[in-house]
Amino acid sequence: MIAIFLSGAVSLLASLLSTRFLIRFFKNLGKGQPILTKDENNAVVAEHSHKHGTPTMGGIAIVLSAIVGYIVTHIRRGVVFSDQAMIMLLAVVVMALLGLADDIAKVRKGRNRGVFWKVKGYITLAISMGLALLLALTTNVSRTLSFTRHDNPGWQLHLVIWVLWTGFIIFATTNAVNVTDGLDGLAGGSAVLGFAAFTIIAYWAFRNPQIYAFKAGVREGVVNPLDLAVVGAAFAGACIGFLWWNAAPARIFMGDVGALGIGAALSMLAITTDTHLLLVLICGLNVMEIGSVAIQMGYFRASGRKKRLFRMSPIHHHFELSGWPETTVIIRFWIISGLCVAAALALFIADFVHVQR
């Protein structure tokens, strides 16, 4: 437990200080986040022009601080580096670098979408599948379809099916977090709750190996759950430190570098803790956000590109255009995220109580 608190505390402090440094650094460069006035369908967006030029790429601090907190924690005895955690951090760094490249293009060109936006989805999908394959071939990750544990429902998946399924999880989660990152502190605040949930789940698995760990050498269960809990705490702390500066009115945005990195971490934690399907609830707000985009696009195309179901998607902009102040939308969406995470933990604990009987 001390290792988990240490990881979170070090990451929080590192994020708090490094984000402040990034604000000064990017302000001195004189360039910041470009703001759209119309979306891809020529619809007027919520009024955010006052944010034009705000420093971006603050996600660099989140990713680096989480890694620092994770590494420093391993100075303590009893905490060992696990192969799954290493691949998880690799996934975060790779996705973050992809986001960083697009962020740099946005700032240099003064274009909100950057230069990769038409192909970024394909690149992200390819990377996601590659990471899932790497995880399957180099670690003892369970290859069952899971809800709250490896044997619930416990359907054994063929390697190809498992890679396609988990690759889709990584791809969908990174994009969902990226879509959520549209208001000050919205993505960061919901991410804190998600990482806290995975920290609890991983630590619970560590304390109850008879249910969640390997059995008689069979490849099933959570591998080195304490290390996974340390990862979760590190990212939770890093996001909290960043929120100090990102809360409305934001002094810096996380950018794609932060959104894609956070999405990769959340999805990989779900895969390695055997909570694939529970991720839908833990990231309930992100599912709602990206779902609103999919519904809007489908409805708009079905109507011959004439009608929209929402005033604008993602759905947080719909409520802004309906008259809600930005801070009201953020706080209410945080509440929705908290309720989803609470429901997910309730289902996880209820399953544990059921198994213990």
pLDDT for 239-271, tens place per residue?
A: 999 999 999 899 999 999 999 999 999 999 999
What's the pTM value of the predicted model, to 2 decimals?
0.92
User: Which DSSP letter does residue 44 get?
Assistant: B
* CB contact at 8 A, 166 and 276: yes
**In the chain, where are the structural domains located?**
2-280
* CB contact at 8 A, 230 and 79: yes
Spell out, as residue ranges, where the chain has pLDDT lower than 50: 40-44, 216-217
What is the rounded distance in angstroms from the CA atom of residue 288 to the CA atom of residue 286?
Answer: 5
Q: Which residue has the tokens 């894609």?
A: 260
Which pLDDT does position 113 carry in this prediction? Answer: 62
* CB contact at 8 A, 225 and 4: no
- Neighbour tally for 312: CB within 10 Å: 21
Which pLDDT does position 44 carry in this prediction? Answer: 47
- Find the angle CA(253)-CA(193)-CA(22) to the nearest 5 degrees: 25
DSSP 66-95: HHHHHHHHTTSTT----HHHHHHHHHHHHH
